Amino acid sequence: MNEQERKQQAQINAEDNFERIKQTSSEEMITKYFHTNYTPQTPDIKKARKRRKEEVQFKYDFSIPEDMQTAGEGRKFLIRTYGCQMNEHDTEVMAGIFMEMGYTATEDVNEADIILLNTCAIRENAENKVFGEIGHLKPLKLENPDLIIGVCGCMSQEESVVDRILKKHQHIDLIFGTHNIHRLPHLIKEAMFGKEMVVEVWSTEGDIIENLPKARKGKIKAWVNIMYGCDKFCTYCIVPMTRGKERSRRPEDIIQEVRHLVAQGYKEVTLLGQNVNAYGKDFDDLDYTFGDLMNDIHKIDIPRVRFTTSHPRDFDDHLIDVLAQGGNLLDHIHLPVQSGSSEILKKMNRKYTREAYLELVRKIKKAIPNVTLTTDIIVGFPNETDEQFEETMTLMEEVGFEAAYTFIYSPREGTPAARKKDDVPEDVKKQRLYRLNELVNKQSAESMRKYEGKTVKVLVEGESKKNPDILAGYTEKNKLVNFKGPRSTIGQIVEVEITEAKTWSLDGIMAESKIEVK
C-alpha cells in the first residue's frame, strides 16, 4: 500500500468507526466494543472518597516499553493545560514521556498527531471551557482520522464527565486519570492500534513513581512536587476525589531533585502540593515535617524557594521559625482563607475559625515582619448571608492581603456542599464578587505604590508579553516588574529601581544601566 492508499484506508476505517460509535449507547460501548484483551476502567467517585490504609510504594523503575520507544518518531504532540500548577507540572511529565518516545512538541493543532487536554475540575466554568475545546477539535479528527485526541487531568476522574464524553463526544480516542499518567505509553499504544475509545481511570491512587521524565517549560524556574493528594475534604472541593489521598515523596528524592535543578542552572523552585504543609504526616517510619524539609532546602544553594499551597490548619510554629530564617526562603506566603466568617468556615470544614486564622497571621507577621500575604476566597457559599460576606471584607482589610484569587462558589457533583439548598441569588453572588474584587484591587495597588522609588531584586525571565523590547521578571514577593535592560540579564537576579506602580505590576529601570521603561 502506498502512502496515498494508506491514508485513504485510514480515512475509511475511521469513518466506519465513527458511524458505529455514533449508533452505540455508552453502556453498550463499554461492554461491546472494547477489545477482548482490554478492560475499560471508568471513575467511581465513592471509591475515590475512601481513604485506604495501604502503604504507598515508591517505584524507581519507570521505562518506556520497547515497542513504544520509537513510536513518536516523525510525530508531534500538543498538550493543552487547564487549571493549577499541579496540572502544569503533570504536563511537563507527560511531555517528558512523549519525548522519550521520540515525539516532538508542537503548538499547532493542525500539525499534531496527538492532542491531550489536561483538564481542571475545580469549578464549572473550567469544565465548560474544556467541553468547548472538545467540540472545536471534532472537525480536525474528521479531517485526520489518524489524529489521537485524549482527555486527562482532574475532569477524567469524574463519573459524569466520562459518561458525557462516552455519550456525546465519540471523536475522543483516549481518557485517562491523574493516577494513570505513567501508563501513557501503553495507553497511546491502545489508542493507536485499537479501534475503540480507551478509558483508563483509576479511582484510588497508585504508587509514587519517582523516575518519570520531565520536559520542563523553562530553564529558570522549576516546579517540584513534594506531595500528592489531599485529605482535608473541604465540603466544596472536588480535589480529594480527583487527586486521591495525601502521599509525600521521600525527603531524599526531593532534595536530590532540587540539587539536580541547581546543577542545571535553575534559579527558583516552587514546592508543589495541594496542601504542602501536610507534608510528612503520612510517613510511618519518619518524623519529618514540611518545616524540616524547608530547613533542609534552605541549606541548598538555590537563590529562591517558594511553595504552594499551604493550609492554615497545618501552619505550625516550627514552620514559621524555619521561614523566619529568610535567605532563599522567600517572605511571600499564599495562605488560602476562603472566608472571613467562622460559621461559613465551619460549613466549609476548614477546621479553623476567623480568630484562629487572624492569630496565625499575627504570629507569622511577628516572626517575618516584612511578609507578604496572599489568599484564595470563595464568595456565595450556599446560604452565605450579607453579614457573613461582610466578615470576609473586613478580614481582607485586617490581614492586608496584597493579592487574592477570588471565586464564586461553584457546586461540584459528589461534594457535600453541592447537596445543600442555596438561597443566595446569582446576582447577589456576582455583586459580592465585584465588591470583593474592588477591595482586592485597591489593596494590591496600595501594596505596589510602596515600591515607588525603591530598589527591588528581580529574577529576569524574558521579554515582557506586551513589548519585546522590555524585559520582565518577578521580585522576591512575586510582583511582576517590567523594565528596560540588556537581554544578557535573562536568567539572572538584577536590581531594578521602581519608577511607577500599576495595580498588578511595577515599571522600573535597571539600577546599573538606568534605562527607563517607556
Q: Name the site residues for ligand 5AD (rule: CB under 6 A).
A: 122-123, 236-237, 336, 338, 376, 378, 407, 409-410, 412
- Amino acid at the residue 444: S
- Amino acid at the residue 333: I
- Look at residue 18 and give the partner it binds from ligand 5AD, ligand SF4, none, a contact being a CB closer than 5 to 8 Å depending on partner kind: none
Rounded Cα distance, 305 and 303, in Å = 7
Residues 214-233 as x/- pattern, contact with ligand SF4 by CB under 6 A: ----------------x-xx
* Per-position DSSP letters for 416-461, written without gaps between them: GGGGS-----HHHHHHHHHHHHHHHHHHHHHHHHTTTT-EEEEEEE
Whichever of 26 and 410 has its CB closer to ligand 5AD, that residue is 410
- Look at residue 232 and give the partner it binds from ligand SF4, ligand 5AD, none, a contact being a CB closer than 5 to 8 Å depending on partner kind: ligand SF4
- Look at residue 123 and give the partner it binds from ligand SF4, ligand 5AD, none, a contact being a CB closer than 5 to 8 Å depending on partner kind: ligand 5AD
Q: To the nearest whole angstrom, how small is the minimum distance from the Cβ of residue 459 to ligand 5AD?
A: 24
CB-neighbour burial class of residue 12 (10 A; exposed 0-12, middle 13-18, buried 19+): exposed
Q: To the nearest whole angstrom, how small is the minimum distance from the Cβ of residue 274 to ligand 5AD?
A: 9
- Look at residue 407 and give the partner it binds from ligand 5AD, ligand SF4, none, a contact being a CB closer than 5 to 8 Å depending on partner kind: ligand 5AD
Among 237, 319, 361, 377, the residue binding ligand SF4 under the rule CB under 6 A is 237
User: Contact between 282 and ligand SF4 (CB under 6 A)?
Assistant: no
Do 50 and 166 contact (CB within 8 A), yes or no?
no
Distance of CA 380 to the CA centre of its chain: 24
Whichever of 176 and 236 has its CB closer to ligand 5AD, that residue is 236
| DSSP 3-state of 209 | strand
Whichever of 187 and 230 has its CB closer to ligand 5AD, that residue is 230
- Look at residue 233 and give the partner it binds from ligand SF4, ligand 5AD, none, a contact being a CB closer than 5 to 8 Å depending on partner kind: ligand SF4
Rounded Cα distance, 255 and 252, in Å = 5
Q: To the nearest whole angstrom, how small is the minimum distance from the Cβ of residue 241 to ligand SF4?
A: 9
- Look at residue 337 and give the partner it binds from ligand 5AD, ligand SF4, none, a contact being a CB closer than 5 to 8 Å depending on partner kind: none
* Per-position DSSP letters for 2-51, written without gaps between them: -HHHHHHHHHHHHHHHHHHHHTS-HHHHHHHHS-TT---B---HHHHH--
Do 478 and 491 contact (CB within 8 A), yes or no?
no
Rounded Cα distance, 322 and 31, in Å = 55
Residues 29-58 as x/- pattern, contact with ligand SF4 by CB under 6 A: ------------------------------
Among 240, 251, 280, 291, the residue binding ligand SF4 under the rule CB under 6 A is 240
- Look at residue 311 and give the partner it binds from ligand SF4, ligand 5AD, none, a contact being a CB closer than 5 to 8 Å depending on partner kind: ligand SF4
* Closest among 296, 353, 354, 366 to 328, alpha carbons compared: 296
User: Contact between 201 and ligand SF4 (CB under 6 A)?
Assistant: no
Whichever of 58 and 405 has its CB closer to ligand 5AD, that residue is 405
User: Contact between 277 and ligand SF4 (CB under 6 A)?
Assistant: no
Q: To the nearest whole angstrom, how small is the minimum distance from the Cβ of residue 82 to ligand 5AD?
A: 13
Q: To the nearest whole angstrom, how small is the minimum distance from the Cβ of residue 236 to ligand SF4?
A: 7
Q: In the 3-class helix/strand/coil scheme, how is 220-260 assigned residue by residue?
A: CEEEEECEECCCCCCCCCCHHHHHCCCEECCHHHHHHHHHH
Which sign does the torsion angle of CA 473, 477, 480, 483 carry?
negative
Whichever of 304 and 347 has its CB closer to ligand SF4, that residue is 347
Q: To the nearest whole angstrom, how small is the minimum distance from the Cβ of residue 279 to ligand 5AD?
A: 18
Find where cell 523552585 sits: 269
Among 311, 429, 477, 479, the residue binding ligand SF4 under the rule CB under 6 A is 311
Whichever of 295 and 441 has its CB closer to ligand 5AD, that residue is 441
Whichever of 85 and 492 has its CB closer to ligand 5AD, that residue is 85
In the chain, the N- to C-terminal Cα span, in Å, equals: 61
Q: Which helix (H) or strand (E) holds 481?
A: strand 480-484
- Look at residue 230 and give the partner it binds from ligand SF4, ligand 5AD, none, a contact being a CB closer than 5 to 8 Å depending on partner kind: ligand SF4
Beta bridge partners of 483: 471, 508
User: Contact between 247 and ligand SF4 (CB under 6 A)?
Assistant: no
Alpha-carbon distances, residue 196 vs 161, 325, 359 (angstroms): 18, 56, 56
User: Contact between 275 and ligand SF4 (CB under 6 A)?
Assistant: yes
Do 116 and 150 contact (CB within 8 A), yes or no?
yes
| DSSP 3-state of 290 | helix
- Look at residue 412 and give the partner it binds from ligand 5AD, ligand SF4, none, a contact being a CB closer than 5 to 8 Å depending on partner kind: ligand 5AD
Which sign does the torsion angle of CA 339, 343, 348, 350 carry?
positive
- Binding footprint of ligand SF4 on the chain (CB under 6 A): 230, 232-234, 237, 239-240, 274-275, 311
